[in-house]
Amino acid sequence: MERPVVRRPGGRWFQREAWAADIGITLLVQAAMTMPFVVPRSAGLPPATWAAYGLTTLTVLPLVARRRAPVAVLIAVLAAGALYRFTVDGPGQPLPYTGLVAFYTVAELSPPPRRLAVAALVLTAVFPSVAWNTGEARELLFSLFVFAAAYVFGRFTHTRKAYIRAMEDRARQLEVTHRIEAERAAARERARIAREMHDILSHAVSLMIVQAEAGPVAVRTAPDRAEAAFDAISETGRDAMVQLRRMLGVLREEGPGDASPSPRAPQPALAELPDLLERARSGGPEITYTVTGRPRPLPADTEATVYRIVQEALTNVVRHARASRATVVLDHAAAELTVTVTDDGRGPGTTTGLGLVGIRERAAAHGGKATAGAGPGGRGFQVLVTIPLVTSPEGVGS
């Protein structure tokens, strides 16, 4: 029973292509086998008959199914060739075309045990065939050479196709890997953007709520403070809109003909912390800001992370702590930066809120850690973040 032919992906189109190729090869071999019948023969030779030509065609027809049953086709071809030799006295052929094509196909498609057994059988059959024909050593060597060449070319074709399939499989695996990596990168970017938008909106809205609640009271008792409160609300809203436009501008896809590319405004830096504290201080708790150690230039992403951590911690102070005072301390040690935000409010509530989770994720993204809980002496609330320091290129030579 013949081994089923393994077909590459391609479905019916590939099957039709294989059938067309086999029919084309069969017609080409038939044309080569026809040449001795149309070339004028010497007067001493028997004439070429239609019976001989029909039997010659019978040796060629099995090649149409050579891919489906390689060994069976080879046996049919050899049997038809033997029948031609023993029953008719027709024109001979300069080469055993049909046998070579069938043997090549066996070498290409058959499994090793069957392929090697057929090869041994064919090479053994060459000797009596040559002895029946001319018996000359030259014909024997030539026959052995052409059949060995057919076998070698069949194995070479098999190896080349296997290599191509391996390269195609590798390309598909790489494509899948790249798609998975792209999806992971997109998920990471979505998480980062979600944290950014949470920090921006929660901070701005919290400050605006505090100012708005203080506004009506201040209108009756201190109009100047009311005006300052409304100014703070306006400024906070404008700042939030600027930051959101910046982020949405980065998200906007640029087309090939886009004449106005998306802005790439810088991320917030440590130099902007005083402005952040001033906005949080307006109408809220008194906030003190202290920098210790030896400040030095840091990578932009590290500065942006520290800014967002302080922003989220102050948002929690404004929204939940009911504190009157808060302190922000940045300690630049030799190998790490420590950020401490402490308030004198009502103390620990939950430590698993979205804001605190975002702080921990931001710290972890830089190889750091964050803790949150009761402040010194069990009073108030404290957020403590430690980030390993990597100086920026500008600070290396300073």
The answer to whether the pTM exceeds 0.75 is no
Q: Is the dihedral of CA 388, 393, 397, 398 positive or negative?
A: negative
Distance CA 114, CA 164 (A): 24
To the nearest 5 percent, what fractions of the chain are helix, strand and coil? 65, 10, 25
Tokens 């069949």 belong to which residue? 154
What DSSP line would sit under 42-81, residue for residue?
A: PTTSPPP-HHHHHHHHHHHGGGGGTTT-HHHHHHHHHHHH
Read off the pLDDT of residues 148-162 as tens digits, 9 standing for 90 and up.
Answer: 888 889 889 888 989
pLDDT for the residue numbered 338: 95
From CA 60, how far away is CA 76, in angstroms rounded? 9
How far is 75 from 80, CA to CA, in rounded Å? 9
**At which residue do the structure tokens 């993204």 appear?**
365
Inter-residue contact 385 to 339 (CB < 8 Å): yes
Q: Give 306: exposed, middle or buried? Use CB within 10 Å, 0-12, 13-18, 19+.
A: buried
Mark the ranges of the chain whose per-residue pLDDT is less than 50: 1-10, 253-265, 392-398
> Quick one: which of 33, 96, 24 has its CA closest to 66?
24
Max distance between CA atoms of the chain, in angstroms, equals: 136
Strands ordered across the beta sheet of 336-343: 286-293, 325-332, 336-343, 381-388, 369-374
Q: What pLDDT was estimated at residue 250?
A: 54
- What are 270-284's pLDDT values in tens digits? 888 998 888 888 767
Across the strands, what pairs with 371?
384
pLDDT at residue number 382 = 92
**Cβ proximity of 291 and 376 under 8 Å:** no
Identify the structural domains of the chain with CATH numbers, from first to last: 11-135 (no CATH), 286-398 (3.30.565.10)
Whole-Å CA distances, 100 to 66, 72, 105, 154, 331: 12, 14, 9, 10, 84
Rg of the chain's alpha carbons, rounded to an integer?
43
Question: What does the pLDDT read at residue 259?
Answer: 45
The length of the chain, given as a count of residues: 398
CA-closest candidate to residue 109, choices 73, 67, 76, 78: 67
DSSP 8-class letter at 381: E
